[in-house]
Structure 1
Amino acid sequence: MSGRTVSSAILILVLGSFFATLCDVFIKMAGADVAIFQFTFLRAMFMCLILCPIAVTRYLRSARTSATLGLKLHFVRGNLWVLAAVLLVVSLAELSLATANAVFYTAPIFIMLFGAFFYKERLTLEVVLAALLGFAGILIILRPTEVTFSMISAVLFAVVLAVNSLLIKKLPQEQSMLYGLFMTQLFALPLSGVLAFWEGGVFEVEVLIYAALSSICSILYSVSCLVGYRYVASSQVTSAEYSGLIFAFLMGWWVFGDTPDLGVFIGSFFVIVPLLYLSHRDIRRLRKEQLLSNTRSNLGAG
């Protein structure tokens, strides 16, 4: 799974969506009364500790000048991560896992819109239709009756997530993906640390465990985004992240006892079918290109 083709990028993002949902599960298990800024700082600290040996190894094997590239971008992404992490905890504190993820998955809509505006990416009819059907599925699943602070936090989280995902394209090509992720989390420590100190929350071992587990899942999700969005147009693969809705429904039912209703399955149909279509279309196109290449090779050999 190199992420250099649309089909492999879609598969990578689907796996990433699973780990993202698992991360949400651990965050929600931390409880509604968790010290938000302390929890965010602990998550950033654990991610740095996990990535540090890998980052040092990559640093020693690469040119020294590449280590200082893109520091401003890493700083921006690190502080955006702090904002997104806080919004994530706030929204999961009150919303159910399925409802929260239904709102989170408006992020691909923002990714396509921002990608077309800032990167001049071409939006095909199939991609636009897939996005509209996916968004319609979200509305069927969510069926909002009122706007709450948690829902606003979830929408803002989706916007920040979309911006951070698109900034991946500007990361220095000379740096490894894991080294860049380490630098991003390193720059997240000062702001999250100051906020945690200002908050003055009571330290709990249980919160530490949930922070560590969610950090591992967050790293796996971040790596999938780095690979999935780095080599192909975001508009071609962004629908793949809708698959996380299915994981959210299943885990919400299994862990928290949330029972999906008919609307969940109808909305899921609207989400999954476009994803399967885009994946099948890419596989079919690659087969045609391979067949044409083989035919030309045979003609040239003749």
Structure 2
Amino acid sequence: MPKMSVAFAMTLLVLGNIIAVFSDALIKALPSETAVYQFILFRQCTAVLMLLPFCLINKKNKLFSNIKWHFVRSHVWLLGVIFMVLSLQALPLATANAIFYAAPLFVLPLGFLFYKDRLNFPTIAASILGFAGILVIVQPKQINLGAVFALIVAVTMALNNLLVRKLPQHHTVYQTLLLTNLLGIPFALGLAIWEGQPFDWRSLITAASSNVFILIYAGICVQVYRHIEAYKVSSAEYSGLIGAVVVGIILFNEVPNMTLLVGSALIILPLIWLATLESMRFRQKTG
């Protein structure tokens, strides 16, 4: 399998995070009376239907061989989806996304704890400045459930990216995404039955539409974190905040203020600095 460069991996993560914002926007636009667990079940099922044709093309790899870590990761993913929907219903789009992008901060210590990933000054500094930018944007005056839910989402995102390295290498990206959604369906179905809400076609359509965006993002994450150590590229996850700001302005009339601009600068400028350092190291090694 060819080696992916750090610069290309970071570019993919930037693109993936911007795409993921559109999935969040669709979820935020859901009516307040939407049955949350039914919507999540629809997301899981429609994702499987979308991915199945791509998995059937390649029948060489055994889909259900060695799926222990797929099972674990699928339920971490499902937990993240549940709290993502709840947090988007409770917070403005830009605020929720700002907290979501605390995920790279959790990647660093968790990566060190699980895999003994090496930490260096540039990656630590970029993450700390990025977190400072998030605090500037959010301006937390009190802890509320929406913010707690969003922080849980950030932790699950970090765990999902780190667990990719535990997955069997013979599974393709499509198979990995299929198993991530398929193995969580029984639990999601149980939650939907417990919820006891009538079937809603609008919720199904929105779930399928948001899946198109989020599956692209998830596929990019699997591809990147399978090739590159998390500490080298995780800061690129912050970039989707710009997309959240733009979408928030257009769709939800969330006009940015000076604190948002300052916070965004604290996130983006260290990212550019980190990418520049990695590019210089790459040129030195290849030159």
* Structural mapping, 1:1-302, within 5 Å: 4-58=4-58, 60=59, 62-63=60-61, 66-291=62-287
- How far the C-alpha of 1:283 sits from its partner, in A, is 1.8
Runs of 4+ with deviation above 3 angstroms: none
The number of residues matched between the two structures is 286
- How far the C-alpha of 1:3 sits from its partner, in A, is 7.1
- How far the C-alpha of 1:31 sits from its partner, in A, is 2.8
Q: Which amino acid aligns with 1:56?
A: L
Structure 2 stretches lacking a partner, 5+ long: none
- How far the C-alpha of 1:151 sits from its partner, in A, is 0.9
Maintained 8 Å contact 1:3/1:227? no
Task: Tell which structure's C-alpha radius of gyration is larger.
Answer: 1
Q: Which amino acid aligns with 2:114?
A: F
Q: Distance in 2 between matches of 1:281 and 1:3?
A: 19
Q: Distance in 2 between matches of 1:289 and 1:110?
A: 29
Q: Distance in 2 between matches of 1:88 and 1:290?
A: 42
Q: Report the RMSD for the aligned CA atoms in angstroms.
A: 1.3
Q: Distance in 2 between matches of 1:222 and 1:119?
A: 21
Q: Distance in 2 between matches of 1:263 and 1:155?
A: 21
- How far the C-alpha of 1:275 sits from its partner, in A, is 1.0
Maintained 8 Å contact 1:32/1:94? no
Query: What do the CA deviations read for 1:178-227 (whole angstroms, capped 9, x no partner)?
Result: 11111121101111111111111222222122101111111101011011
Maintained 8 Å contact 1:12/1:227? no
- How far the C-alpha of 1:56 sits from its partner, in A, is 1.5
TM-score, normalising length: structure 1: 0.92
- How far the C-alpha of 1:37 sits from its partner, in A, is 0.3
Q: Distance in 1 between matches of 2:233 and 2:79?
A: 25
Maintained 8 Å contact 1:3/1:12? no
**Identity of aligned pairs, percent?**
37
Q: Distance in 2 between matches of 1:214 and 1:49?
A: 14
TM-score, normalising length: structure 2: 0.96
Query: What do the CA deviations read for 1:223-262 (whole angstroms, capped 9, x no partner)?
Result: 1101121111101100000001111111011110001100
Maintained 8 Å contact 1:75/1:187? yes
Q: Distance in 2 between matches of 1:245 and 1:51?
A: 27
